[in-house]
A and B are shown apart, each in its own frame.
Chain A
Amino acid sequence: MRPLLIAAALLSIVPPARSAAQSFLGFRALGAPVLASDGRAVGTGNIGIGLRGLEFSVLDPSASARLTLPTVSASMQPTWGSFELEDETGSSNTTRFPLIGIGFPLPEARGVATFTLAGFMEQRWTGERSELIDLAGEQVLVEDRFETSGGTSVARLGWAQRVFRQRLAVGVSVGAYVGRLEQSFDRTLDSLSIGDRIRPFSELSEWRYSGYTLAAGISADPHDLIHLAAAVEWSGDITETPRPGTEGAANTYSVPLRLSGGGTVQLTPRFQLNGSIAWQDWSGATGFPDGAVSHLKFTYGAGLEWRAVQQETRSVPIRFGYRRVVPPFRYHRYDPIETVWSAGLGFNIVEFAAIRLGWIDLAAEYGTRDSHPLSERFWRGTVSLGISRF
């Protein structure tokens, strides 16, 4: 009963929509992507598919087929970043909650029903401007501030099924894009020029996101030492609809097909390597301003996991990894690339036959993100908690 209370507490305090990429990338489009992975995948450089023992994956619906007990997992990511934009520099920090997953095995059907809530795209940044304007025959100094906050998440319902003597698993999921975007424009006019009774101008625009996505995945263990997975995800258009009180027409953006795959090789009983790759071609996506989308297509990552401490029902793995991510939207006209080095530490508090029933995963990443003239650096931590058998 107590773990159940903990799980309830976790879900009550973790709002996935709070996620924040804290990047200027994609300011003309949907923002910067959120890599919705837990601390183990982050630590091993995995992009969310093909990692043996992964409990929840937003890429691969079949990943949860290994769950044997009702399980809940949540991740939290504090981030500290800095940027250079030609002659400007600045910093940022935030905390995000990129992934919440719930899995519920149904023994009669030999499958697992899953629910995940994961970040997809985020827009959180502020632009400022000072200029002189002609107003009422005077040159008036105005200060403008434009703040964007919000993003898109995906809520998915999935089903993972083990077949063929437990060596093969298939899964499907259906998801809905959810989320909202708030944009505030504030203009302050210089009171010395125009008088102290003038009020600043503030305008708040709110938008709601909607859309659907379908995914299917397959994972297999063709050999005791090898795990493989592949998945495909199709998305309908994402619709950005103004909320009541916001002027403007709805915008529709297409999301291209995503193909992904990955695998894990067990080199020794305590040491494994993994690699994963995703292909998604945004260059033909519609609805975005000209030149906003990247032509790069491949995101990949690789890493290793070594169980430094291994006991009968507990273990402490150490992880290292590298990822190269291609965000879909540029800053100006140069394709962006994000490179991330990561390290992680796991505390598998309760596990049985390599199935984790209670765990905490910690990961630290250092990454760079470049899309000339924008250059961003960040340190990011990930803390994930998973609990089964409640």
Chain B
Amino acid sequence: MADSDMPAPGHSDMPAPGKPDMPAPAAPSAPLVVSGLAFAASAFLLATCQVELPTAAREELVKSGVAVEVLVPFAEFVASASVFGGYGRASGLGGGFIAHEFGSDVDENGAEVPGLEAATLVRFGRYPSSVSVVDTAGTNRLDTAITFHAGGVLVRLDTVSSVAAGPVDLVAHLVTEEWDPVSAGWDYAVDTVDNRVAWSTPGGGPGDEIAVGVWDPAAGDSVELMLDSALVVAWADSTAIRDVRITATTPGVRLRVSSVVVQLQTIPSIRPDTLLRIGLGATGATFIYDPLPSPPLGALRVGGAPSWRTVLNLDIPRSLSGYPDLCRQLDCPVDLRADHVSYAGLQLTTAPAAAAFALSDSLALDVRMVTAPRFLPKSPLGPSSLAVTGGAAVAPELYRPEAGQVFELPITEHVRDQLRGETAFGDPVSSTLALMTVFEPLSIEYASFAGRNSATPPMLRLILNFSRGN
């Protein structure tokens, strides 16, 4: 097309704005619609493309950061501290304890504590009425004509948590008095809200000795206390009492029982050349012990069975001043917000506990918010903060060769929640925390820490981060 064929893009014939007599262009809608849709699709695709920012490792492009460690004294972050006991029952532990004259000492209150006495009580169920036997043809058959003529009480022990310098003499007694596997204790055979029945003699009643045995820690983790064959036969009666108390007669031992079963022996009628061993499990079990630990007068305590909890009412400071490292880098007082707290650890100093309940194995601790402190000691708790990682383990070495060593319990999220005034999910928070074991009860042992009036009260260790300038 020649230049002269087209109208000049001048102005003299340009229509006035909105002039109604302007000729309409031919069919503008279709191409406009197509173009518009194409543009809209392109814009949408490009708008949703990933953006890559220019990134350079240059000092001048980054704000200054300040990271500092601060140790907050007890009085500046805790309004009050209390110790509560009685959470859970010994029967909830699973397994049990056996002890004899263990750890007679002076406890953290300065009181004389006689040696620990502990017995494990087990109730066994009925004998099986049949066994499945492989006959000589290799076929599984049910043998209902079985008789048991021998057996023993097989006790398995937790060798890590047990304290024994050498072989331990164990004794099994028949418990002849009625007892409740859930609530029984050293003094009471039944100890429920509406019913309390004492043993005729504390510690499970007199009982009849039915088996003895020796557990040698060097030989393994179990010992079988052989039963008299007449008793094995007598226990076949469905109405027979098959309740057993296991104790130790060797002084200075405390054993943790993993499980107790009766190992029965029988010769099946369809395979008279074969001796079968059949395990008879417990239908109920607990352990009873004496003396119970007395409440601590000044120390903090976590653990035991039933369990102890230490409850702290926090008062986390909202601004910090007087900390040389902090104030050297920032203008004090420094306002403290949740985001500034990269780590918060409750530093506890181990305190000597009664030797009877001293740690022999690590105790896993947890920290949970007390959601309704006014209902303490029965307040509901918030979610666990440490159980998902197995808890924070207090090692027995922190009490050896003597107590006074520092254990740090991470409470970062709790401190952040306090400063934020709500949880990270927007739920309300209370200022009260419970220090407890990850499960209750977890062990007869408990951890003891120095309290407010000690020379080494708890401290709050904070690692704080701040930004500064542009």
What is A's interface to B at a CB cutoff of 8 Å? 2-3, 6-7, 9-10, 13-15, 18, 20, 22-24, 27-28, 52-53, 65-69, 74, 76, 78, 81, 83, 85, 88, 90-95, 97, 105-107, 110-112, 124-130, 133, 135-136, 140, 142, 144-147, 149, 162, 166-167, 183, 185, 187, 189, 194-195, 197-203, 221, 224-225, 266, 268-270, 272, 307, 309-311, 313, 347, 349-355, 357-358, 360, 383, 385, 387, 389
Taking A130-B57, A166-B12 as known contacts, 11 extra A-B pairs with beta carbons closer than 8 A to each other, sorted by chain A number, are A2-B33, A20-B51, A88-B57, A93-B51, A125-B56, A145-B62, A198-B342, A269-B9, A272-B9, A350-B31, A354-B7
When C-beta atoms are compared, the residue in chain B nearest to A309 turns out to be B1
Pairwise interchain contact A383-B412, C-beta atoms closer than 8 A = no
Instruction: For the complex, give the distance between the alpha carbons of A81 and B25 in Å.
Output: 41
Main secondary structure of the interface of A (DSSP, over half): strand
**In the complex, B320 has a CB within 8 A of chain A:** no
Q: Give which listed residue, A3, A65, A126, A311, contacts B53 with CB less than 8 A.
A: A126
Q: Which of B9, B11, B54 contacts A126 (CB 8 A)?
A: B54
Which residues of B approach A to under 8 Å, CB–CB?
1, 3-20, 22-26, 28-29, 31-33, 35-37, 39-40, 42-44, 46-47, 49, 51-63, 65, 67-69, 339-343, 410, 412, 463, 465, 467, 470
Chain B residues closer than 8 Å to A357, beta-carbon distance:
25, 28
Q: 6 A-B Cβ contacts within 8 A?
A: A92-B52, A93-B52, A107-B17, A144-B65, A349-B31, A383-B43
- CB pair B31–A10 under 8 Å, yes or no, is no
Residues of chain A contacted by B9 (CB below 8 angstroms): 52-53, 266, 269, 272, 353-354
- Do A224 and B28 contact each other (CB < 8 Å), given the known contacts A18-B47, A69-B18? no
What are the 3 tightest A-B residue pairs by CB atom distance, in nearest-first order? A127-B61, A354-B9, A107-B18
**Residue from the list B1, B24, B44, B467 in contact with A185, Cβ < 8 A:** B467
Which B residues touch A68, using CB under 8 A? Answer: 14-19, 22
A313 touches B58 (CB 8 A): no
In contact, B17 and A10 (Cβ under 8 angstroms): no
Which of B1, B43, B63 is A146 in contact with, Cβ under 8 Å? B63
Contact of A387 with B32 in the complex, beta carbons under 8 Å:
yes
| A95 pairs with B46, CB closer than 8 A | yes
With the chains together, A283 CA to B1 CA distance in Å? Answer: 51
The contact of B14 among A14, A310, A354, A385, by CB within 8 Å, is A354
Cα A74 to Cα B46 with chains together (Å): 14
In the complex, what distance in Å separates the CA atom of A142 from the CA atom of B448?
36
Residues of chain B lying within 8 A (CB to CB) of residue A128: 55-58, 61-62
Inter-chain contacts of A149 with B (CB < 8 A): 53
Q: In the assembly, what is the distance between CA of A203 and CA of B51, in Å? A: 21
Q: Are A28 and B470 in contact (CB under 8 A)?
A: yes
Q: How far is the CB of A71 from chain B (nearest CB, A)?
A: 11
Bound: A155/B26 CA distance, A: 34
Q: How far is the CB of B459 from chain A (nearest CB, A)?
A: 13
Tell which of A90, A94, A183, A199 touches B343, judged by Cβ atoms closer than 8 Å: A199
Given A6-B33, A69-B18, A76-B42, check contact A140 B62 (CB 8 Å): no
With CB as the reference atom, state the residue of chain A lying closest to B339.
A203
Whether A83 pairs with B36 at a CB distance below 8 angstroms is no
Please, which residues of chain A bring their CB within 8 A of the CB of B59? 129
- Which of A74, A135, A162 has the most chain B CB atoms inside 10 A of its CB? A135
Contacts of A90 in B (CB 8 A): 54-56
Q: Is the CB of A358 within 8 A of B31?
A: yes
* Residues in B neighbouring A9, C-beta threshold 8 A: 36, 40
Is there contact, CB below 8 Å, between B43 and A76? yes
By DSSP majority rule, is chain B's interface helix, strand, loop, or mixed?
mixed
Q: A349-B35, A385-B35 are in contact. Are A67 and B62 (CB under 8 A)?
A: no
Determine the chain A residues whose CB is within 8 A of the CB of B3 once the complex forms: 268-270
Residues of B within 8 A of A167 (CB): 11
B410 and A197 contacting across the interface, CB-CB below 8 Å: yes
A102 nearest CB across to chain B (Å)? 15
B29/A85 in contact, CB under 8 A: no
Q: Which residues of B contact A136 (CB under 8 A)?
A: 69, 463
Could you say which residues of chain A place their CB within 8 Å of the CB of B410? 197
Complex contact B33–A3 (CB within 8 A): yes
Chain A CB count within 10 A is highest, among B16, B28, B59, for: B28
Chain A residues near B51: list those with CB within 8 A: 20, 93-95, 124
Min CB distance, A309 to chain B, in Å?
Answer: 7
The answer to whether B463 and A194 have CB atoms under 8 Å apart is yes
What CA separation (Å) do A312 and B174 show in the bound complex? 115
Give the nearest-CB partner of A10 in chain B: B40
Cβ 8 A contact of A133, one of B1, B62, B67, B341:
B67
In this complex, which of B6, B61, B62, B410 has the most chain A Cβ atoms within 10 angstroms of its Cβ?
B61
Question: Nearest chain A CB to B68's CB is how many angstroms away?
Answer: 7
Q: What residues of chain A lie closer than 8 Å to B53, measured between beta carbons?
A: 22, 92, 94, 124-126, 147, 149
Whether A14 touches B43, Cβ cut-off 8 Å, given contacts A68-B22, A199-B343, is yes
A108 to chain B, nearest CB (A): 8
CB-CB under 8 A from A76, the residues of chain B are 39, 42-43, 46-47
Residues of A within 8 A of B31 (CB): 349-350, 358
**A315 closest partner in B (C-beta):** B6
| Closest residue on chain B to residue A66 by CB atoms | B14
Residue of B nearest to A384 (CB): B39
Residues of B within 8 A of A162 (CB): 16-17
Contacts of B62 in A (CB 8 A): 127-129, 144-146, 185
Question: In the bound complex, do residue A187 and residue B65 qualify as a contact, i.e. CB atoms below 8 Å apart?
Answer: yes
Query: Which one of B16, B24, B54 lies within 8 Å of A166 (CB-CB)?
Result: B16
Closest CB in chain A relative to B450 CB, distance in Å: 22
Contact B465 A201 (CB under 8 A): yes
- B17's contact among A14, A112, A124, by CB below 8 Å, is which? A112
Interchain CA distance A3-B29 in the complex, whole Å? 7
Partner of A310, one of B1, B16, B61, B339: B1
Residues of A within 8 A of B17 (CB): 65, 67-68, 105-107, 110-112, 162
Question: In the assembly, what is the distance between CA of A202 and CA of B63, in Å?
Answer: 12
Q: Which residue from chain B places its CB closest to the CB of A194 in the assembled complex?
A: B463
A189 to chain B, nearest CB (A): 7
Max chain B C-beta neighbours (<10 A), residue from A133, A162, A353: A353
**Which residues of B sit under 8 angstroms from A130, Cβ to Cβ?**
57
Q: Is the CB of A201 within 8 A of B340?
A: yes
Is there an interface contact between B29 and A2, defined as CB atoms closer than 8 Å?
yes
Report whether B11 and A224 are in contact in the complex, using a CB–CB cutoff of 8 Å.
yes
- Closest chain B residue, CB of each to CB of A140: B67
A22: B residues at CB distance < 8 A:
53-54
Contact B16 A6 (CB under 8 A): no
Cα A387 to Cα B30 in complex, Å, equals 12
Q: Once bound together, how far apart are the Cα atoms of A83 and B52, in whole Å?
A: 13
Centre residue among B1, B29, B52, B53 by max chain A CB count within 10 A: B53
Residues of chain A within 8 A (CB-CB) of B46 are 76, 78, 95
Distance to closest chain A CB from B12 (angstroms): 6
Bound-state Cα–Cα, A28 to B52, Å: 21
How far does the alpha carbon of A112 sit from the alpha carbon of B17 in the complex, in Å?
7
Chain A residues near B33 (CB-CB < 8 A): 2-3, 6
Q: Are A224 and B18 in contact (CB under 8 A)?
A: no
Partner of B55, one of A3, A14, A125, A185: A125
Nearest CB in chain A: distance from B96 CB, A: 35
In the assembly, what is the distance between CA of A294 and CA of B59, in Å? Answer: 22
